[in-house]
Structure formats: structure tokens, C-alpha cells
Amino acid sequence: MYIKVTFNRLLITLFACVFGATACLPNSATLPAMPNAELAVETAVPVIEQSKTLQPLSTSRPIPPTIFPTLTIPDGPTPEAYGLPDWLVLEPALLEAAKLGDGKKGRCEWEVLGHEPGLNKVYVWAVCESWLYDGIKSAIAVPAAIYMKADGSIERIYMPVFYGDEEFNREFPNWIQKEFSYESHRYDYSANLALREKFPNFPPQAAVAEGKYPSKPLTTLAPDEAKTKRWIAYQSALAKVWYGTDEDIFCEWDYLGQLDGFVYLQPDCEPLDRQQREFWMPYCRLKIEQDEKISEVICKEKEQFGGSLGLDPQIFPQQIRERSWQDSTDTTRIKEHIELRRWFQDMPPLVVELGLELP
């Protein structure tokens, strides 16, 4: 569940990630031309209203946990950052100011935006997240004003609740508010947080010397070749419909069912370069031949049919249309898995990590 409040060029975001959450994305996009003729979109399909039972995915033998390579902490001098304390001190202080727990199960990334020497005041943009309880993750992306004592310790941290009120404008002068734009941020906060969840002792990028932070991708993971060949075929087919290419594209998907040689999915595809993302909320039908070749992919968003929003009955049978409204894999979990795959490009989609056999 996402709660997002946007004011001017400042984005203050609070979100609680619960299994079964649904992503908020624009609901329209234009299908790019597909270079592969085998993935041509058909123009007319008979209405499908079979009452047959959808085939579930079979579970393969348990997959051992992914073994990540050792990640060496970069050497070099820590940035001065106007006298801010070591990240091991600053990170839990930011988490406490954000009211995200005691800092033991959370992490923060931040970027120093400026300072006022006479006030011993440092301005940062902070993105923090923490696991709270019962699988709930809470996070915040917000500017912060850090007041320092003469001995270099933190006196207090101000994080706004509301944008534009008297207190906000008193804490953040106009010259620093201009730095709140996302376009000016240097770090990939989401990818960094995903990496640090797997490597808890790894420092935030703000605490690493300039040019020393790891660049994506890190390395390959030597995955199961047989399984890799299959999920890459799915990812390639979906990516070509979404982006017109399968190069540097990562796809995750929810499996909705299989019927009469067709597999139905709800995909989410993103490029390695997040600036090239195309927002779309499609549901896809893949035709699987007897030799397991994917010969056709049709992807469509929900549209207005008979006065209500739904999937095209000429392409999606009733069981799939009904299932499309049901809760499925946690969207936040899928998004975080994509962020991790930005670092480890051979890492399979979540559905494969969970041990499910693709048709």
C-alpha cells in the first residue's frame, strides 16, 4: 500500500509494504513495434469462455538459497560532509527521526544538499526503510535538517510532516528547497537499499569515497542453466512487447493460469537504466507450442467493457479476468527483486526463485 503526497518539486513519500499490495502506475501505454515477427499481435481472436480448470504451476524441488559473492567495502577517505558523524551513528539517528524503529532492522541512504556553517546545520535528502512487524516494511523519502553540536555529535534532526507550512519554510530556506528536485539527486537510492539489505554491513553511498561505490552490474551468479534458458525465453518475449528489445531489460511476473496452450501473466518489466522506464499495466497471453517455443505474445491493459473496467474477453477467458482482480504476489516484493537484479543480472525472476516450474 503506497501513500504518496506530492507538492511542487518535493516528494514526501510514506509507504507501508504489505504482502498483497498493488502498485500505482499510469494505466495507459503504447505498444512499441515488435522486431520479431513471431511475436506479432493478432487483430481478431474468438471470445474465450471455456469452463475448463486453469492449470497451476507445479513446484519443482526446493531451490537452495542464492549464494551471493563477497562484496568488499570500498577503501578511501570518507567524504567530509560538513562534519556529519560516521554513517554508523548518522543512519540510526535518521531512522529514529523518521520514526522507523530503533535502527536495528532498517537502513538509510542520503545525499548532502548543503549546509549553514553559522547554525551548524546540514541539509540532506534521506531515503530510509525498515521492517517493522508481521512482514510490514515502512519507508520514507524526505528532506532533513541535521543540527550539530560543537563536539561533532548530533543535537537533533528535523524531518517535515507537511510541506510549505511556516515550520517547513523556517527550517528550509528557499535556496535549499531548490535542491529537493529528484532530477538533481545523484544516487540510485532504491537499488542501493536493495543491495544493502543483502549486505547489511555495507555502507551507504554517501559514506563512500567519490568513485569508489560499486557500479552495476556487480557479477554473475552462475544460475541453473536449464532453468535459466526457460525464464530468459519468457523475459525476452515480454520485454520485446514492452520495450521493443530484450537488451538490459528485467521482467518479473505473476502467473495467472494456463489454458489450451496459452499462459496468462501479469508482468512488470524495467530497463537497467531506470530513466528509460515506460509505465504500463498490461496483462499478457503467451502461446506456448509443443516444443515449448513462445510463438505469440499479446499484452493489453484493462479497458472499459460494458460500463466497467476489465480485460478484453476476446483474449482473456473468464477465469483469468476474475483472477486479475485477486491479490497475488506482493508488488513491493517484486519491485525489490528487480532492484536486486540490477546488480546481479543473471538472477532469475522471483517466480523462479520460489521454485515454480514455467510451462
Residue 184 has pLDDT above 70, yes or no: no
If we measure between CA atoms, which residue out of 165, 158, 201 comes closest to residue 71?
201
Place of cell 563512500: 208
Q: Are 267 and 284 in contact (CB under 8 A)?
A: yes
Question: Where are the domains positioned within the chain?
Answer: 31-68+220-353, 81-207
The grid coordinates listed for 276 are: 528509460
359 vs 41, 56, 64, 218, 326, CA distance in Å?
Answer: 21, 10, 21, 30, 22
156 vs 92, 148, 313, CA distance in Å?
Answer: 13, 7, 58
pLDDT-derived band of residue 281, with 50, 70 and 90 as boundaries? very high
CA dihedral 339, 344, 348, 354 (to 10 degrees): -70
pLDDT-derived band of residue 134, with 50, 70 and 90 as boundaries? low
pLDDT tens by residue, 148-173 = 999 989 999 999 988 889 999 999 99
Residue 247 has pLDDT above 90, yes or no: yes
* Upper half-sphere CA count for residue 307 (Cβ side, 13 Å): 0
Residue 321 has pLDDT above 50, yes or no: yes
Predicted local confidence at residue 218, as pLDDT? 83
Predicted local confidence at residue 202, as pLDDT? 93
Residue 288 has pLDDT above 50, yes or no: yes
DSSP codes, 221-267:
----HHHHHHHHHHHHHHHHHHHS--TTEEEEEEEEEEETTEEEEEE
Q: Please tell me the least confidently modeled range out of 17-26, 215-224, 235-244, 309-318.
A: 17-26
